[in-house]
Amino acid sequence: MSVRLVMLGPPGAGKGTQAERIARARNLPRVSTGDILREAVHAGTALGRAARQVMDAGRLVGDDIMIGIIRERLQQPDAARGFVLDGFPRTVVQAMALDDLMNDEPPLVVLDIEVPEEALVQRLSERKICANCGWIAAPGAVTCARCGGPVIQRRDDEVDVVRERLRVYARDTQPLVDYYRRRPSFRSVDGDQSPEAVTADIAAAVASVLGDRQ
């Protein structure tokens, strides 16, 4: 059956890791707006140049740009039987636009990964990524396990920017939980545990919405 998932949660909650795992398990494309934007930044496109200044300051890229990106991406053939959205929607305006793109069936499964703020600050301020491909490095790694590139700290993972990102999330993105909470396809997951435990809880949450049908 078709499966359409939205991953919610603050920066550092592990959305990317968990989105990739559930996408692989369900044989769905993972649609990461962060990856799309970073590719544009790396390529130096007009979108990339505009987005870089916003992201480096810890702010969110505007709704119109993000909605356009997602509309175009979800029209591609590999998304016809479902998808896992990572990084979209981030505002209620984006969520309403996503609803407009969806038909009534199957349900949009919404997963909210919850992690305490101080744990998020610690995670993000210690995080390193590959300068070439954006892969999140294992603790202590100096080169990327995927492409061998150098490992660096992103400007928006520095402590002052992290706290600004969390403030922006609380202001703009946390209201999404209220928007989705009353839906029978909404689930909250404890993200303050091992990645493997979070993966298991997410799989169980998705199965509970879909009636355990693959």
User: What local confidence, expressed as pLDDT, does residue 44 receive?
Assistant: 81
Mean pLDDT of the chain: 86
Is residue 138 situated within a structural domain?
A: no
Burial 191-205 (b: 16+ CB within 10 A, else e): beeeeeebbebbbeb
- Specify the 3-state DSSP secondary structure of 66: helix
Q: What is the pLDDT of residue 137?
A: 80
What pLDDT is attached to residue 105?
65
Exactly one of 15, 26, 38, 73 is catalytic; name it. Answer: 15
Q: Is residue 55 part of a domain?
A: yes
Q: Is residue 148 part of a domain?
A: no
151 in a domain, yes or no? no
3-state secondary structure of 105: coil
pTM above 0.85, yes or no: no
How far apart CA 127 and CA 135 sit, in angstroms, is: 11
Above 70 in pLDDT, residue 69?
yes
Domain membership flag for residue 16: yes
154 catalytically annotated: yes
Whether 123 sits among the annotated catalytic residues: the reply is: no
Q: What is the pLDDT of residues 116-148, one digit of tens each?
A: 988 998 888 878 888 888 778 877 788 998 899
CB hemisphere CA count around 2 (13 angstroms): 14
Query: What is the tally of structural domains in the chain?
Result: 1
Q: Can you give the CATH number for the domain in which 101 is found? A: 3.40.50.300
Q: How confident is the model at residue 214 (pLDDT cuts 50, 70, 90)?
A: very low
Would you say residue 131 lies in a domain?
no
Considering 38, 128, 165, 187, which one is annotated as catalytic? Answer: 165
- Per-residue pLDDT, 212: 59
Assess whether 127 carries a catalytic annotation.
Answer: yes
Q: Which residues make beta-bridge pairs with 6?
A: 85, 110
Q: Is residue 104 part of a domain?
A: yes
Q: Is 165 a catalytic residue?
A: yes
- The per-residue pLDDT for range 179-203, each reduced to its tens digit, is 999 999 999 999 999 999 999 999 9
The pLDDT assigned to 1 comes to: 60
Task: Report the percent of the chain where pLDDT is more than 90.
Answer: 41
User: Is 15 an annotated catalytic residue?
Assistant: yes
Who wins on pLDDT, 58 or 146? 146
pLDDT at 190: 97
Q: Which of the following is catalytic: 4, 21, 90, 123?
A: 90
Is 122 within a domain? Answer: no
Which domain covers residue 111, as residue numbers?
3-115+158-210
Q: Where are the alpha helices (DSSP H) in the chain?
A: 15-26, 33-43, 46-56, 63-74, 92-101, 117-126, 159-168, 175-181, 195-210
